[in-house]
Amino acid sequence: MNIGNRRRPCASGMLLIAVVLFGCAAVSAGEQQAATAAGAAAAAAEGRTSADWLWVYFGTYTRGESKGIYCAKLDLRTGALSDLQLAAELVNPSFLAMHPKLPRLYACGEVGQFAGGKGGAVSALAIDETTGRLSLLNQQSSGGAGPCHVAVDREGRNVLVANYGGGSAAVLPLDDQGRLKEPSCVVQHTGSSVNPARQKGPHAHSVNLSPDERFAFVADLGLDKLMIYRFDSAAGTLAANDPPSAAMAPGAGPRHFAMHPSGRFAFVINELNSTITSLAFDAASGGFRAIESVSTLPAEFDGRNTTAEVVVHPGGRFVYGSNRGHDTIAVFAVDESTGRLTARGHTPSGGRTPRNFAVEPTGRFLLAANQDSDNVVVFRIEPESGALKAVGVELKVPVPVCVRFRAAASAR
């Protein structure tokens, strides 16, 4: 593994990847206040408050009818979704992340070339908190090809990105307005594993931070490893940790990672062998101890399947994983003393290929994004069992591959 803190010079006349900016006309403070007041008055007339709904943003692959990032409102009382609107036109904004303090959204540009060179892009976009629409602030190279996952640290100092095609991870510092700077650090993975079709080289698939943000974890599908780095937020750097990684089973293909709210356990979903691995976390060293791996599939299923997303319920009692092929969300109960999982069943996702899903912050609803059937389906979460029940709400979204939430401005 080669670690480099590579500074990349800014390309003059940076090429923007097919972005249409919304709401770019200058708006006075008085006009903004009037719009906000009008929205609040309409909500009050309907008996709604800002705590009753969230903005939902959908990342997509821009093929077929898809043009970029879409958004809608989620009613937290009923699970209803408003009409879909195009928030911004952008090429392959496949994964999204929110700034923790500012009205900013960050999106991967999952492409192989950007601004005349090899590598993908990351875009910073400003959120219009009245309309939900997005306007481009700037873009930077992701430091590698095919970026597929982004995260933002809790102070809003840095965006971290995993480059699937390039097999690398990078840190992009942010200025005080949430604009991206060029990568301050790029770490290049090396090696391979046992699956000749999918593991000839490294494929960094996600990047996440420890609860105290001293460590960054990069799930590499091509290496069958969860790479562990020491993260310096002030410097914007990643450094090899001791231990440097946690090994998954040969051929497992680790994809995504989720930490338990207690900070004691973590869960890795393995794309290639359709399992979730439970890990005990050592907060002092940043290392992990494997507890168990459980199948995401029912015993009788013998078809083709790959997994995609893993999410821990905000209450910490349940873990969910998505199956592509079986086209279900697998439900597990968590033993909060041991980190072990008990299967609680499988709920059809309401479409084909549930690449991503998310549980909104109150823990009442789960939204499943079905990539190959162009729809997002809303499920209510039963609070005692974690079971999912479709509420009868389906939104047509072209090629949805990411779901992210943002609270209304007055609710934060």
Mean pLDDT along residues 380-403: 98
Would you say residue 96 has pLDDT above 50?
yes
> Is the per-residue pLDDT at 14 higher than 80?
no
- Amino acid 317: pLDDT: 98
pLDDT in the model for residue 50: 64
Phi-psi region of 60 (alpha: psi -120 to 50; beta: other; left: phi over 0): beta
Q: Above 70 in pLDDT, residue 334?
A: yes
Residue whose C-alpha is closest to residue 307's, from 355, 369, 352, 344? 355
Pairing relation of β-strands 147-152 and 158-163?
antiparallel
Q: Cα dist. 85→198, 275, 335 in Å?
A: 36, 36, 40
- Give every strand in the sheet of 104-109, ordered side by side: 96-98, 104-109, 121-127, 134-141
pLDDT at 15 over 80: no
* Distance of alpha carbon 201 from alpha carbon 214, whole angstroms: 27
Residue-level pLDDT at 411: 63
Asked if the model's pLDDT at residue 51 lies above 90, the reply is: no
What is the spatial distance between Cα 176 and Cα 180, in angstroms, rounded to a whole number? 10
pLDDT band of 310, cuts 50, 70, 90: very high
What pLDDT shows up at residue 408? Answer: 78
Confidence of residue 16 (pLDDT cuts 50, 70, 90): very low
- Asked whether the predicted pLDDT for residue 369 surpasses 50, the reply is yes
Lowest mean pLDDT across 223-227, 256-260, 284-288, 404-408: 404-408
Residue in this structure with the two tokens 């494929």, named with its chain if needed: 203
Kindly state the average pLDDT of the residues 23-37. 35
Query: How much is the pLDDT for 303?
Result: 97
Report in angstroms the alpha-carbon separations of 44 from 39, 49, 167.
Answer: 9, 6, 50
Residue 356 to residue 58: CA distance in whole angstroms: 10
* pTM (two decimals): 0.89
Which has the closest alpha carbon to 298: 333, 330, 254, 253? 330
Query: Is pLDDT at 34 greater than 70 in this prediction?
Result: no
* Alpha carbons 384 and 331: distance in angstroms, whole number: 13
For residues 301-320, give the mean pLDDT: 98
CA 289 to chain centre: 24
DSSP, res 213: S
- Among 101, 94, 112, CA closest to 165: 112
Complete edge-to-edge strand list for the sheet that includes strand 158-163: 2-4, 185-188, 168-173, 158-163, 147-152
Q: Which pLDDT band, with edges at 50, 70 and 90, does 64 fall under?
A: very high
List, in order, residues 6 or more apart from 178 with CB less than 8 Å away.
99, 102, 104, 124, 126, 137, 156
**What is residue 117's predicted lDDT score, i.e. its pLDDT?**
83
Question: By CB neighbour count within 10 A (0-12 exposed, 13-18 middle, 19+ buried), where does 201 fall?
Answer: middle
pLDDT of residue 44 exceeding 80, the answer is no
Strand bridging mode 288-295 / 306-312: unpaired
Average pLDDT over residues 207-221: 98
**pLDDT for residue 101:** 96
Q: In whole numbers, what is the pLDDT of the chain averaged over residues?
A: 90
Tell me, what's the pLDDT at 49?
61
pLDDT band at residue 335 under the 50/70/90 scheme: very high
Buried b (16+ CB within 10 A) or exposed e, 324-343: bebbbbbbbbbeeeebebee
Q: Give CA angle at 169 (163, 173), nearest 5°.
A: 110
Which tokens in the block code for residue 199?
A: 């593991």
| Percent of all residues in the chain with a pLDDT value above 90, rounded to a whole number | 84
Q: For residues 304 and 71, give the distance between their C-alpha atoms in angstroms, rounded to a whole number.
A: 32
- Mean pLDDT over 176-198 rounds to 98
Q: Is 80 exceeded by the pLDDT of residue 36?
A: no
pLDDT (0 to 100) of residue 48: 53
